[in-house]
Amino acid sequence: MTEKKKTAKRTRRPLTEIRQENIDQIVKAAEKQFADNGFSGTTVSSIAEAAGLPKPNVLYYFKSKEGLYRAVLKRILELWMEAMHDLHAEDHPREALRGYIVRKLRQSRDFPDASKIFAAEILHGAPYVREELEGPLKRQFDDTVAVFRAWIAKGWMDPVNPEHLLFTLWASTQSYADFALQMKVLLGREELADDDFDNAIELLTRLVLKGCGVKMV
Amino acid sequence: MTEKKKTAKRTRRPLTEIRQENIDQIVKAAEKQFADNGFSGTTVSSIAEAAGLPKPNVLYYFKSKEGLYRAVLKRILELWMEAMHDLHAEDHPREALRGYIVRKLRQSRDFPDASKIFAAEILHGAPYVREELEGPLKRQFDDTVAVFRAWIAKGWMDPVNPEHLLFTLWASTQSYADFALQMKVLLGREELADDDFDNAIELLTRLVLKGCGVKMV
DNA sequence: CCATCTTCTGACCATTTGGTCAAAAGGTTA
DNA sequence: TAACCTTTTGACCAAATGGTCAGAAGATGG
């Protein structure tokens, strides 16, 4: 069902551009497929079809299915680490935590496939991201936990367990991507609307700030 | 590597018992495999091997891989619904919510595979549990939400969004099964210990009760 | 002990799938 | 335009996998 007249469209484009565009197309298609069907459930053919290319062409750019998956994962992990930035000990948790929640929820809304792929990867034993977990992500984790401790030391926050607080923040925000389907069904929505995300922001912010003894103002 | 001398061991056992034991063995092995590798990533052979039976024997009890998966899912869903019971409008949220959190966390600790299979199923579009979601689970959901509303009406709880409160409870407790690996790595633990679960109970209870304006005593 | 039912299992098969390859086609550069 | 890249693609292959089947082995009831 790939109706695009590729040959016609591709005439006269420089090679570098072709390469970049094809790779983008493939990665994008792969992300969707992997999110929907998991690594094992995804076939190279289905990715190729979704990208509008013949299968060997996909294997031409990425040596193997695993290589493609790794490439997709890499992109995702970078996106992942971004949202964790901008939590600083100097900022007051009142704004910092709300901002973090907003950012994480936005990520769940805008990049649900990334979240799903990451979740499935962890779920199944993190065979491809073990190292990233132990290295960069752990550092980020420790830094963020340190910020929480600093807030506690300054009396800006009750002495709650900082590690588990961060786990809870991750879990509750990420679930708006991973379990969006369940939420849709249970809320009787066709799609999660902005309203739903606003409600999520409000509830989560309230639970965290009030629950940790941060004045909400 | 299946070293069990089956023939010797199986002599003299009545048929019904054999049947029951084999089915149990198979389902148990399947649950592990599906949790670790997902539906597509699991082979009937691997289940058979883990159950200590030849492959055709597995297909003898369950007509197909899909049939076996459905059987596993059914068990899981029943387990699932159980923990949601025992939230009643008459009870005070102070004890009821803590009890719920404890129960859910215990479930994550004791049956992580069930949780993982369910999570993966939702993640990938719930192809096999759509109906259960729309039927029994939605009813349970609505009932629980109604309990929250009743608490709010009685002034036992601040007027928070009850649907999202339940989502958050689910997400944060379930993550102790689904993302246990990530937690282990980030906490530098070999395994999650009782202490970790105690900390989780304390933090979650605090966030929810204090965050929702329930007096903690 | 015999007839009958259930369980077990090696051998086999059709399909799917990741991956290869050679050759054609398109693009680049002098 | 000619020599030399890179990209595209149909045809093909070996391995893995879900599932079948016929017949052996075990259990049951009279």
In A84-154, the DSSP E strands lie at none
CA B135 remoteness from chain centre: 18
Nucleotide nearest B45, from its CA to each C1' = D17
The pLDDT confidence band at residue B152, using thresholds 50, 70 and 90, is: very high
Q: Which two tokens stand for residue B204?
A: 């979650």
Whether the domain at A9-63 and the domain at A73-211 fall into the same CATH topology: no
Pick from B46, B43, B74, B47: nearest CA to B61: B47
CA–CA separation, B20 vs B30, rounded Å?
Answer: 15
Contact A179, A161 (CB under 8 A): no
| B186 vs A119, A138, A196: nearest CB | A138
How many Cα neighbours within 13 Å face the side chain of A81?
15
* Cβ-based neighbour number of residue B56 at 10 Å: 9
Nucleotide in closest CA–C1' contact with B59: D19
pLDDT score, position B80: 84
Q: Which of A1-5, A210-214, B16-20, B26-30 has the lowest mean pLDDT?
A: A1-5
Residues 114-133 of B with CB under 8 A from A: 116, 119-120, 122-126, 130, 133
Report the C-alpha gap between B203 and B207 in whole angstroms.
6
pLDDT value, residue B15: 61
Instruction: Specify the DSSP class assigned to residue B189.
Output: -
Average pLDDT, chain A: 92
Average pLDDT over residues A181-207: 97
What's the pLDDT score for residue B182? 98
Q: Residue A61's pLDDT is what? A: 97
Residue with tokens 């049947």: B19
User: For the structural domain made of B6-62, what CATH number should be given?
Assistant: 1.10.10.60
Mean pLDDT of A14-37: 92
Residues of B in contact with A123 (CB under 8 A): 116, 119-120, 123, 178-179
> Over 90: is that where the pLDDT of B83 sits?
no
Interface membership of A167 toward B (CB under 8 Å): yes
AA identity, residue A135: G
Closest nucleotide (C1' vs CA) to A56 is D9
Q: Which of residues 88-117 of B touch A (CB under 8 A)?
A: 116
Q: Does residue B56 surpass a pLDDT of 50?
A: yes
How distant is C1' of D3 from CA of A54, in Å? 29
Protein residues in reach of strand D (CB < 7 A): A 6-7, 10, 15, 18-19, 22, 53-57, 60; B 7, 10-16, 18, 42-45, 55-56, 59, 63-66
| Confidence bin at A16 (pLDDT 50/70/90) | confident
Q: Which of the four pLDDT bands, split at 50, 70 and 90, describes residue B216?
A: confident
For A62, the token pair is: 């990425």
DSSP-derived secondary structure for B53-119: S-HHHHHHHSSSHHHHHHHHHHHHHHHHHHHH----SSS-HHHHHHHHHHHHHHHHHH-HHHHHHHH
Q: Which of A36, A160, A203 sits opposite B125 (nearest CB)?
A: A36
- Work out the pLDDT band at B3, boundaries 50, 70, 90: very low
Tell me how far apart the terminal alpha carbons of chain A are, to the nearest angstrom.
Answer: 56
Summarize pLDDT for A53-88 with one digit per residue, the tens. Answer: 999 999 999 999 999 999 999 999 998 888 777 799
pLDDT at A13: 64
* B140 CB within 8 Å of a chain A CB: no
Asked if residue A46 has pLDDT above 70, the reply is yes
| Reported confidence tier of residue B82, pLDDT bands at 50, 70, 90 | confident
- On average, the pLDDT of chain B sits at 92
- All residues of chain A having their beta carbon less than 8 Å from the beta carbon of residue B202 are 161
Whether the pLDDT of residue A115 is over 80: the answer is yes
What pLDDT does B18 receive? Answer: 84
Contact A29, A50 (CB under 8 A): yes
Domain boundaries, chain A: 9-63, 73-211
Contacts of A148 in chain B (CB under 8 A): none
* CATH architecture observed for domain A73-211: Orthogonal Bundle (1.10)
Between the CA of B135 and the C1' of C20, what is the distance in angstroms? 49
CB-CB under 8 Å, A206 with B211? yes
Nearest to B177 by CA among B119, B109, B98, B102: B109
pLDDT of B217 over the 80 cut: no
Number of residues assigned to chain B: 217
Tokens for B161, please give them: 């969004």
**By percentage, how much of chain A surpasses pLDDT 90?**
86
Mean pLDDT (whole number) for A169-182: 98
As a whole number of angstroms, the distance between CA A150 and CA B22 comes to: 56
Q: Is the pLDDT of residue B206 over 50?
A: yes
**Is it true that domain A9-63 has CATH number 1.10.10.60?**
yes
State the greatest distance between any 2 C-alpha atoms of chain A, in Å, as a whole number.
66
**Which superfamily, per CATH, for B76-211?**
Tetracycline Repressor, domain 2 (1.10.357.10)
